[in-house]
């Protein structure tokens, strides 16, 4: 575990358990959304089991994991087995740590990862996803609901998926495979006026003097304190929270296993909202931050 996580990791155990259940629920929905579950998707379910194996002796995993293990032991997930897993996940859910929107967003992220688990996105999968979104319209104000809905609408407008659209969908959906390791996505895709753009700035021009920097996630290279020292040495200002006066939010490449959502945390969500409302705020992946520091040096 990364050093930056130790101070609060022990306080988030129940929330992490709940998150893993929500992720499995979305994952099972995702791999089966087109009515067909292939070998690659079975392997992806196994990756969820491997990722959470350390929890198998804790409730609710002492009930859930044996059911999943047995279901895919023969390399096939039957309809009856699928329904058993979904039923059990729903019974094991609670609202003690997450509200309905948070739980459903976790399911949506895992659902997208399940769809792309075999490297293909089909028309049936998109239509199934569209139906799921229609049934969960309470998520409309949450990223990335609107972006996903927009992409589906654009791709299905002519009733077929061409090679360029399939590549777009692969790039977009594959970012959510990060549920398996809780690492930050380097260049997640969102849409704006039907154009796909990156959440993190591409080759950003970073200025340090007098600019405010925030940090989220963790880095394999520097601690949070070391990030702050670097910024201050180069004339920048370290901010503890995300506000409209923030100039840059640096996203650590190691992510954070205690984030409520697999692919991003509260600060990233706040930054996306502020940027949509007109704030001149850039989300910077730490690799680009390191490059900027090297350039200044």
Are 200 and 188 in contact by the 8 Å Cβ rule? The answer is: yes
The two three-digit tokens of residue 128, written as one number: 């199934």
What pLDDT score was predicted for residue 238?
95
What pLDDT score was predicted for residue 97?
47
What pLDDT score was predicted for residue 210?
95
Average pLDDT for runs of 10 along the chain of length 297: 48 63 88 89 90 77 85 89 84 61 80 86 91 87 76 86 87 67 48 52 88 86 88 93 92 64 67 84 89 86
CA end-to-end distance (rounded Å), the chain: 31
Sign of CA dihedral 36, 174, 104, 65: positive
Q: By three-state DSSP, how is residue 72 classified?
A: helix
Q: Helix/strand/coil (H, E, C) string of 279-294?
A: CCCEEEEHHHHHHHHH
- Predicted structure pTM score: 0.56
CA distances from 160 to 55, 126, 154 (A): 42, 11, 10
Buried b (16+ CB within 10 A) or exposed e, 63-95: ebbeebeebbeeeebeeebbeebeebbeebbee
3-state helix, strand, coil in the chain (%, to 5): 55, 10, 35
What pLDDT score was predicted for residue 195?
43
What pLDDT score was predicted for residue 261?
52
What pLDDT score was predicted for residue 212?
96
What pLDDT score was predicted for residue 263?
55
Bridge partners of residue 285, in order along the sequence: 251
């Amino acid at each position: 575990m990364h050093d930056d996580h130790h101070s609060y990791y022990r306080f988030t155990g129940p929330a992490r358990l709940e998150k893993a259940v929500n992720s499995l629920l979305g994952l099972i929905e995702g791999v089966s959304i087109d009515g067909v579950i292939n070998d690659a998707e079975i392997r992806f379910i196994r990756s969820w089991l491997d990722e959470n194996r350390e929890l198998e002796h804790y409730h609710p995993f002492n009930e859930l994991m044996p059911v999943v293990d047995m279901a895919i032991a023969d390399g096939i997930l039957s309809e009856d087995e699928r329904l058993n897993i979904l039923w059990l996940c729903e019974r094991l859910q609670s609202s003690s740590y997450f509200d309905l929107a948070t739980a459903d967003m976790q399911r949506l992220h895992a659902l997208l990862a399940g769809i792309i688990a075999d490297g293909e996105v089909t028309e049936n999968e998109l239509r199934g996803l569209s139906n799921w979104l229609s049934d969960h319209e309470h998520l409309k104000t949450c990223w990335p609901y609107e972006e996903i809905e927009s992409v589906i609408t654009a791709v299905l407008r002519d009733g077929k998926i061409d090679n360029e659209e399939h590549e777009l969908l692969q790039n977009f959906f594959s970012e959510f495979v990060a549920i398996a390791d809780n690492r930050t996505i380097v260049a997640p895709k969102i849409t704006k006026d039907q154009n796909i753009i990156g959440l993190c700035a591409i080759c950003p021009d970073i200025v340090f003097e007098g600019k405010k920097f925030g940090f989220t996630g963790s880095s394999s290279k520097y601690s949070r304190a070391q990030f702050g020292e670097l910024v201050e040495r180069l004339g920048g200002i370290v901010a503890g929270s995300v506000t409209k006066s923030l100039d840059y939010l640096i996203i650590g490449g190691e992510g954070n296993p205690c984030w409520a959502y697999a692919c991003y945390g509260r600060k990233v969500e706040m930054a996306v909202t502020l940027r949509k409302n007109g704030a001149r705020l850039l989300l910077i992946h730490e690799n680009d931050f390191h490059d900027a520091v090297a350039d200044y040096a």
